[in-house]
């Protein structure tokens, strides 16, 4: 288990993380989300010992993680722009990483073959997607206790995502790995994560179990005989949009409660719609005034 407590980090005058608190359970996939520049990479770099925090602590199974080799060997960090030398090939990076980690070679080559990546060619000449596929294959072949992926799925095609998603589930099952993956795109992560943490305004504004959080929020489409304004609608929503006679709201209220609250407006029908990760965050963010 990872416990991040009151973590702070500034670059010069610029405060990036201010009192970040987060608990990460073992054997799960945590999605760290936030807009570009929110501080996701900074938080992951501190977590993996690339940067030092200004204050606060990170405990891994109760042990302070900074400069602790015993803790660090359980982490594999895949940065958003992994380093490789001009002449590096998938074969040569394997040798490099084998000096640091136990790598499952069969798995690595199996994944490369699946993605039709020639291990003898220069990574330098690969497309962005092929570079990502190479490094994710390596990360999966290392199957560390803690796998930290920074924007790892950015630019991957849907089939590659699906393959990696299945492989991630396998390493969690087989090795009880914990996966922490960041993204600026909520939709990219929603089918992968068990839990989430939203980084905004320098700290974690919302976190928890993803499906439980999704159950707490409902979306309704409501039609009225005549156009209705936001002002005329009872303040039961977290978010509100209207195209005249048809209104869409997100709210924590259940169907019957909504029905009761708006009965005086004589709705023609109320339909419950499914809510995705992104809509849930829009609702959280709007309610917290974070969009203001």
107 binds ligand ADP (CB under 6 A): no
Stretch that binds ligand ADP, among 38-46, 166-174, 239-247, 264-272 (CB under 6 A): 38-46
Among 19, 25, 37, 201, binds ligand ADP (CB under 6 A): 37
- Please name the residue that has the structure tokens 């002449």: 87
With beta carbons less than 8 A apart as the criterion, state whether 32 and 17 touch. Answer: no
Q: Is there binding between residue 208 and ligand ADP (CB under 6 A)?
A: no
The Cα angle at residue 185 between residues 77 and 141, in degrees rounded to 5:
30
42 binds Mg ion (CB under 5 A): no
Q: Does 41 bind Mg ion (CB under 5 A)?
A: yes
Given 7, 24, 30, 39, the residue binding ligand ADP (CB under 6 A)? 39
Using CB under 6 A, which of 22, 29, 42, 172 touches ligand ADP?
42
> Considering the rule CB under 6 A, would residue 41 count as an interface residue with ligand ADP?
yes
The entry of Mg ion, ligand ADP, none near residue 144 (CB within 5 to 8 angstroms by kind) is none
Stretch that binds ligand ADP, among 30-38, 203-211, 242-250, 255-263 (CB under 6 A): 30-38
Nearest of 284, 215, 208, 211 to residue 23 by alpha carbon: 208
Q: How far is CA 27 from CA 30, 93, 221, 237, in A?
A: 10, 27, 37, 35
132 near ligand ADP, judged by CB under 6 A: no
Decide which of Mg ion, ligand ADP, none touches 31; Cβ closer than 5 to 8 Å per partner kind: none
**Least distance CB 43 / ligand ADP (angstroms):** 7
Q: Report the residue number, 41 or 53, with the smaller CB distance to ligand ADP.
A: 41
Q: Which residues bind ligand ADP (CB under 6 A)?
A: 11, 16, 34, 36-42
């Amino acid at each position: 288990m990872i416990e991040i407590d009151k973590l702070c980090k500034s670059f010069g005058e610029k405060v990036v993380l201010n009192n970040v608190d987060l608990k990460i359970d073992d054997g799960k996939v945590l999605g760290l989300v936030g807009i570009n520049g929110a501080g996701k990479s900074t938080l992951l770099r501190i977590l993996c010992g690339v940067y030092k925090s200004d204050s606060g602590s990170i405990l891994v199974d109760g042990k302070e993680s900074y400069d602790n080799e015993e803790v660090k060997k359980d982490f594999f960090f895949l940065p958003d722009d992994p380093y490789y030398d001009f002449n590096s090939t998938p074969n040569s990076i394997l040798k490099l990483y084998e000096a640091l980690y136990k790598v499952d070679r069969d798995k690595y080559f199996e994944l490369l073959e699946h993605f039709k990546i020639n291990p003898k060619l220069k990574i330098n000449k690969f497309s962005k997607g092929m570079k990502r596929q190479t490094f994710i294959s390596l990360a999966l072949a290392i199957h560390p206790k803690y796998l930290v992926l920074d924007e790892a799925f950015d630019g991957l095609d849907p089939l590659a995502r699906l393959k990696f998603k299945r492989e991630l589930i396998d390493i969690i099952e087989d090795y009880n790995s914990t996966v922490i993956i960041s993204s600026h795109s909520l939709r990219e992560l929603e089918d992968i994560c068990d839990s989430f943490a939203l980084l905004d305004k320098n700290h974690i504004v919302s976190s928890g179990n993803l499906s439980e959080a999704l159950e707490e929020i409902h979306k309704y489409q409501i039609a009225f005989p005549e156009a209705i304004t936001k002002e005329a609608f009872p303040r039961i929503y977290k978010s509100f949009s209207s195209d005249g006679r048809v209104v869409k709201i997100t709210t924590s209220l259940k169907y019957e409660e909504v029905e009761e609250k708006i009965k005086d407006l004589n709705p023609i029908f109320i339909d419950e719609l499914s809510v995705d990760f992104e809509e849930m965050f829009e609702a959280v963010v709007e309610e917290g005034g974070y969009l203001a």
